[in-house]
Amino acid sequence: MSTATPILRALNVTKRYGKFTAVNGITLDILPGTVHSVIGPNGAGKTTLFHTLTGTTPITEGSILVEGEEVSHLPGYKRVKKGLARSFQVTSLFPNLSVRENLRLAAQGRHPAQALNPWRRPELLRRACDIAEQLLVRLSLQAVAERLSAELSHGQQRRLEVGMAMAGEPKVIFLDEPTSGMGIDDIGDMKRLIHSLRDSYTVVLIEHNMDIVMDISDQITVMQQGQILAQGKPAEIRSDERVRRAYLGSMITGGKAANAGKEST
Ligand SMILES: Nc1ncnc2c1ncn2[C@@H]1O[C@H](COP(=O)(O)OP(=O)(O)OP(=O)(O)O)[C@@H](O)[C@H]1O
């Protein structure tokens, strides 16, 4: 076990919807500078766990700590100020603004009052422009910087979503299935991008593509029916009999997950 202090900690986090328990007593440490993936069958509670950690959904029980500070009952926008960022969905891009303007606005979002203030401090605007330029390079979107975000390919839009989260210079970025609906080339680009993120951020990733999960994760948490089934490094998860049973059995992730199980035989 690493001795690093967790940047994010979930202690016995539980989320109930009426009598149904979607997330059941999850205790989890996310270490800084890592890619930590959360995997599991459809309906396992992964997205609900994300919602509780980012403040999209209030928890029923337990606590959530960011760098040791309790944030369990803070609304989402206050958790953003503590350094948690969730990747925007495609629908959250500004379709009628250029790629560059999308990134600049997201960078200004760090100081939202300033973004709307006509007397805003010019150095903050300058900083937002600089961040946008750096991100265009990092996302390989320089060639389409002036295009409206609505005109981008699906893969480019998904990279831009990740860039929108990066623009706020958060500590932890949550990515919920960033490769869904992508073709093989775009998947490769996204995989490299996510892997590179841990140089500057901590990444918490929900991903159904097992090749990606196994290749770029430092740590994997496997959920099943709202609980943790297993946790460990990719090699440990691959060879965990309980995980293989869960994946080869009822996993709706089908081929990809079944292949992950076969690879380890
Ligand atoms: N708002 C809600 N009200 C009631 N039940 C909910 C609500 N949101 C989620 N659930 C239920 O909680 C369970 C966990 O759902 P969740 O979306 O977190 O799973 P998941 O692991 O992310 O699945 P997937 O891989 O399909 O996205 C499911 O049974 C779902 O139907």
Q: pLDDT tens-digit profile of 149-191?
A: 999 999 999 999 999 999 989 999 999 999 988 888 899 999 9
Pinpoint the alpha helices (H) of 109-231: 112-115, 122-138, 154-167, 184-197, 210-216
Residue 237 reports pLDDT greater than 60: yes
Residue 234 reports pLDDT greater than 90: yes
Residue 103 reports pLDDT greater than 80: yes
Would the CB of 110 count as within 6 Å of ligand 1? no
Q: pLDDT tens-digit profile of 136-148?
A: 999 999 999 999 9
pTM for this entry = 0.87
Choosing among 3.40.50.970, 3.10.450.50, 3.30.390.50, 3.40.50.300, the CATH entry for 1-83+170-265 is: 3.40.50.300
Strand partners, 20: 17
Mean pLDDT of the chain: 86
Residue 110 is predicted with a pLDDT of 63
Amino acid sitting at position 10 = A
Q: Which atom of ligand 1 is nearest to the CA of 50?
A: 18
Would the CB of 72 count as within 6 Å of ligand 1? no
Q: In this prediction, what percent of the chain has a pLDDT beyond 70?
A: 85
Q: pLDDT tens-digit profile of 83-93?
A: 998 885 556 78
Query: Which sequence spans correspond to the domains of the chain?
Result: 1-83+170-265, 89-169
Would the CB of 21 count as within 6 Å of ligand 1? no
Give 116's pLDDT tier (boundaries 50, 70, 90): low
Produce one character per residue of 185-194: b if its CB has 16 or more CB atoms within 10 Å, e if not: ebbebbbebb
Q: To test ligand 1's pocket by mutation, which of 14, 48, 89 has the most ligand atoms within 8 angstroms of CB? A: 48
Would the CB of 196 count as within 6 Å of ligand 1? no
Residue 117 reports pLDDT greater than 70: no
Q: To test ligand 1's pocket by mutation, which of 37, 46, 250 has the most ligand atoms within 8 angstroms of CB? A: 46
Residue 244 is predicted with a pLDDT of 84
Closest CA to 258 of 187, 231, 245: 245
Question: Token match 């943790």: residue?
Answer: 228
Give the span between the Cα atoms of 210 and 186, in whole angstroms: 16
Distance 42 CA to ligand 1 centre (A): 8
- Region 98-116 average pLDDT: 78
Strand partners, 15: 23
Residue 119 is predicted with a pLDDT of 58
Q: Which atom of ligand 1 is nearest to the CA of 22?
A: 12
- Region 245-251 average pLDDT: 60
Q: In this prediction, what percent of the chain has a pLDDT beyond 90?
A: 67
ipTM: 0.96
Distance 15 CA to ligand 1 centre (A): 11
- Region 210-222 average pLDDT: 94
Higher pLDDT, 2 or 156: 156
Residues 6 or more apart whose Cβ sits within 8 Å of residue 81: none
Residue 181 is predicted with a pLDDT of 87
